[in-house]
Amino acid sequence: MRPVSPAEGLPVAALLLAAALVRPGPGLRRARSRWTRPRPRAGRRDTRDDGTAGARTAERAAALLRAGVAPASAWQHAGGGADAPADVRAVWRLVTVTGAPAAEALDACAGGVRADAAARAAVRTALAGARVSARTVSALPLLGLVLGAALGAPPWVALLGSAPGRLCAVAGGVLLCAGRWWSARLVAAAERAAG
């Protein structure tokens, strides 16, 4: 077999590098949905929630109750009802049925919702480092191939010019993909465990 020239191997390395850097599966779908999500128009409230919409509803209702507004009216003006998050609706039902102090219960509910949102944000922040590390480590072998070619020692000759070299290239590609898959599973399991 004739040796593979660097000009022939460079496109292969570029494709391998691109394949390693693309996020597989649900991550790519989430990214695509972020790119295609319609932007809110001027004057309209952004409906995306950072996890604290329930806390804001509960705090508004509690403030209105403390100001002397009737409970049903306070709940309606605070944005309560079917659109309110389930945990806030549950607290509201509890205080209306039992007669418990509504403002205090709603404030406690808001504190719990905010603490939960902060914990989810902390988990997302902690897992961001793991995601970046996995992508960086999986790109290193491919960057090594490109660097070798740039220094004048094209690895394509050894990898694609003989049967053992091709076997090593295939095994390396399989192990690289398996490592990316395993890291994605570990991160997803940590996200599920965090709730």
Q: How confident is the model at residue 165 (pLDDT cuts 50, 70, 90)?
A: confident
The pLDDT, as a whole number, for residue 42 is 45
Query: What is the chain's mean pLDDT, rounded?
Result: 78
The pLDDT, as a whole number, for residue 193 is 80
pTM above 0.75, yes or no: no
Most confident of 9-13, 15-19, 119-123: 119-123
What's the whole-number mean pLDDT along residues 103-113?
A: 92
User: What's the CA gap between 115 and 121, in Å, rounded?
Assistant: 10
Tokens linked to 76 = 């309606």
Distance of CA 177 to the CA centre of its chain: 20
The pLDDT, as a whole number, for residue 14 is 56
Burial class (CB in 10 A: 0-12, 13-18, 19+), 179: middle
Burial class (CB in 10 A: 0-12, 13-18, 19+), 26: exposed
The pLDDT, as a whole number, for residue 63 is 92
